[in-house]
Every structure is written in structure tokens, then in C-alpha cells.
Structure 1
Amino acid sequence: MAPELLTKTPYRTSVDWWSLGCSIYEMVAGYTPFRGPESKKEKVEKEEVQRRIINEEPKWEHRCFDAATKDIIQLFLKKKIDERLGTRNNMEDPRKHEWFKTINFPRLEAGLVDPPWTPKPNVVYAKDTGDIAEFSDIRGIEFDTKDEKFFKEFSTGAVPIQWQHEMIDTGLFDELNDPNRKEALDKRMHIAKV
């Protein structure tokens, strides 16, 4: 959680940039920035993690952090919202950072770039359903076989790529994103009724 959540400071998208910094750190190091590698051996209490988020900087003990990766993480994990990359007072576009240099954002946003990995829509990506407890204050819930079956068949609601291409090719995507969409939608509904 971003410091502003823990200190109950008003926020907007700043928490999302913080989360991205934490995610990049975890993808590289294999553990979160404020739990540290010791969390694999011992349980770090929630209160201790919160204290670290508010008062400490992440540790850079992992050798896989190259200069660009470390820099973007540090910019996303600034404690002060105004200093964090992507926020109102630091309007520099995060996509222009060296760390993203291999990504063609216009092609990506147009759906023309295939992702290196696509999650399966019927899979919950957690070690086990017990992982959910780490993020929830609700305790004492036991999962039975019916629950486990549900989690195995859980659908994320991911839209198939083929359907996305069909939306783009037919012009439906442009129509839905048109500021004058209501008029176009009314016209389409009228045609469908006839």
C-alpha cells in the first residue's frame, strides 16, 4: 500500500504509480520492496511492513537491478506524492522513461502488439486461495471443495483477442469511443428495431 493510504492522506492515481513501482521491484527481485528477502524465511508482520513503507526506503540488495530499472522504481516509490513519477506535480510521462524504451506505446494501445504472455481467463494467479487472506482482514473462512472448484473455473472476464480485433475492424471500437456516441448508438438501435 502506498504511504498516502497508510497515513490517510487524500490521493488519486498516485497509488497506482506506487503499485507499479512495487510490481516492477517484485518482478526483478522475487519479493516485495518492503518485506525483503527475509519474508521467505520468516513472516514479516503487516504492521512492520506498514512502518517500513512510511519510514524506510527499499533495499537494493538484489543484484539484478540495472540502472534504468532501479531509477524507475525509485521514481515510482517516492514517499511524497508531488515527487512521484506520473503525478500531478511531476507530469513527466512515465512512458518516456528509459525503462520503457523497447515498447511502442501507440502500437500497444492500438492492440497491434502481441503480449509476451497471455493469462488464461479461467485461472486465478495466486499460489493458492490462502494468498487471498494476506490482503483481507476477514479471518476464519474455510474453503470447501465447492469453493476450490469455483476458483479453478473462475473467469477473469478477459476479452478474447479475436473479439477485440473484430471490434476494431468493424469500427465498433471507434464508435464506442466517439464523443458523439449517444447519437450513433441511438441510430444503430433504431436500425436494429426495424
Structure 2
Amino acid sequence: MAPEILKDIPYRTSVDWWALGCSIYEMVAAYTPFKGPEAKKEKVAKEEVQRRICEDEVKYEHKGFDAATKDIISQFLKKNIDERLGCKGDDPRKHEWFKSINFARLDAGLIDPPWKPKPNVVYAKDTGDIAEFSDIRGVELDAKDDKFFKEFSTGAVSIPWQQEMIESGLFDELNDPNRKESAAGLDGDQKSGTCTLL
């Protein structure tokens, strides 16, 4: 989350530019900028990550960062909103990092995306977050479930499992626009997206 969210400062699109900087960093390094490579070995406490976001500068320890990538990430991850790329009246698309993209053709729909999600597949990193905000209790996981969840990030989710989500009420709960995020501690601007099953 951007510093302004953590500090409870009013915000608009500044958090989206921050998120783009984090996403670019993670695409290069395969870990997030404020958790660092140690997060692969041990869990970094939420409070420590929040402190780093608000106080520390980003480190570029991974060898995959070139000068343009470092520059755009650094500009998107400025802690001061008025200094952040995209928030100071500038156009991020003019940055050198985007030089290979023809935005006029992209806006006109003339460029095919490099990857298209399959409409009959659920893509998710894992299912652990569901338990944090779900009101559905008493579900017992067995060895078969554990095997499935280990393969969950492959994007292959069987129709029977999707049917089980519908029958259990979890699908409706996740897609209820009025559901409360009490356990996850999220406010209206940070709610997770909807779930789609086909």
C-alpha cells in the first residue's frame, strides 16, 4: 500500500501510480520492493513492511534492474505525492521505460496483448486470503485439497471445485457488493475484486 493509505491521508490516483511502481519492481525481481528477497525465506512482519514503505528508500539488489527501470520505479515510489510520477502534471507514458510501446495504436485496440487470460479459468496466487474475510466456517481440508491448493496458481481450476464454491455460498459471498471486510481490516477503497467462475 502507498504511504498515504498507511498514514490515512486523502488520496486519489496517486496510489495507482505507486502500485504500478511496485508491480514493475516485482516483475523484475520476483519479490516486492519493501519485503525484499528475505521474504522468500522468512515472513516479514506487516508492521515492518509498513515502516519500510513510510521511511525507507527502495533497494535494487536484483541484477535485472537497468537504469530506465530503476528510474521509473524510483519516480513511481516517491513518498511525497507531489513528486510522484503521474501526480505532478506529467505523462508517465513519455518515460523512456515505455519507449517500445506505441500508445496511439494501443489505445485504438490495434495491438494484441502478449497474454490473454482464459475465460474458464480462475487465476489466483493462493486461497489463504479467503479465510481472512469469509464468514463460512467448518470446511475441513484433506490431503486431496492440499494437493489441489499447491497447484492452484497454475490457473487450472476444475469445474467441480468451482461448483463447490457456488454451492457452499462462498462465490455469492465474495461477489456481494455489500459484504463487510471486517476481518481483513480493509476500507471501501481497498476492497478486493469480484470472483468470476465459468
Residues 111/70 of structure 1: CA separation in 2 closer, same or farther (3 Å cut):
same
- Within the candidate set 93, 100, 103, 1:102 is matched to 100
Report what 2:71 is aligned to.
71
Q: Which is worse superposed, 139-148 or 48-57?
A: 139-148
137 and 42 in structure 1: CA distance in 2 versus 1, 3 angstrom threshold: farther
State how far apart, in whole Å, the 2-side matches of 1:48 and 1:139 are: 29
Judged with a 3 Å threshold, the aligned counterparts in structure 2 of structure 1 residues 42 and 137 are, in CA distance, closer, same or farther, namely: farther
| Aligned-pair CA distance for 1:45 | 1.3
Note the alpha carbon deviations across 1:78-122, whole angstroms, 9 max, x for none. 0000000001xx111000000000001011011110011111223
Give 1:126's aligned residue.
124
Tell me how far apart the structure 2 counterparts of residues 53 and 139 of structure 1 sit (CA, whole Å). 31
- Bigger proportion of residues as helix: 1
* 1:143 to partner: Cα distance: 5.8
Distance in 2 of aligned mates of 1:82 and 1:44: 29
Name the SS for the 1:130 alignment partner: coil
* Shift, 1:125, TM fit: 2.5
What amino acid does structure 2 have at the position aligned with 1:127? K
TM-aligned CA deviation for residue 124 of structure 1: 3.0
Aligned to 2:20: 20
Equivalent-residue separation in structure 2 for 1:50 and 1:22 (angstroms): 14
> Per the alignment, do residues 79 and 139 of structure 1 end up closer, same or farther by CA in structure 2, a change over 3 Å counting?
farther
How far does residue 149 in structure 1 lie from its aligned partner after superposition? 2.2
Q: How far apart are residue 147 of structure 1 and its match? A: 9.4
* Residue 129 to residue 98, structure 1, CA distance change in 2 (3 Å): same
**Equivalent residue letter for 2:122:** V
Match for residue 111 of structure 1 among 109, 112, 118 = 109
Partner SS for 1:95? helix
Q: Which moved more, 1:22-31 or 1:51-60?
A: 51-60
Cα shift at 1:138: 6.4
* Aligned equivalents of 1:57, 1:137: Cα separation in 2: 32
Given the superposition, is the C-alpha separation of residues 93 and 129 from structure 1 closer, same or farther in structure 2, using an over 3 Å criterion?
A: same
Q: CA deviation at 1:130?
A: 1.7
Match of 2:196 in 1: 155
Contact 2:162 2:197 (C-alpha < 8 Å) held by counterparts: no
Identity %: 67
Question: Quick one: which amino acid aligns to residue 45 of structure 1?
Answer: A
Root-mean-square deviation (Å): 2.9
Bigger radius of gyration among the two: 1
Q: Output the CA distance in 1 between the equivalents of 2:105 and 2:139.
A: 43
Residue 31 of structure 1: aligned partner? 31
Between the aligned partners of 1:82 and 1:59, the Cα distance in structure 2 is: 22
1:47 corresponds in structure 2 to: 47
Could you say what secondary structure the match of 1:112 adopts? coil
Distance of 1:69 and 1:142 partners within structure 2: 47
Worse-matched range after superposition: 51-60 or 13-22: 51-60
Unaligned runs of 5+ in 1: 158-194
**Equivalent-residue separation in structure 2 for 1:117 and 1:71 (angstroms):** 26
Describe the shift of the 1:98–1:137 C-alpha distance in structure 2 as closer, same or farther (beyond 3 A).
same
Shift, 1:65, TM fit: 0.3
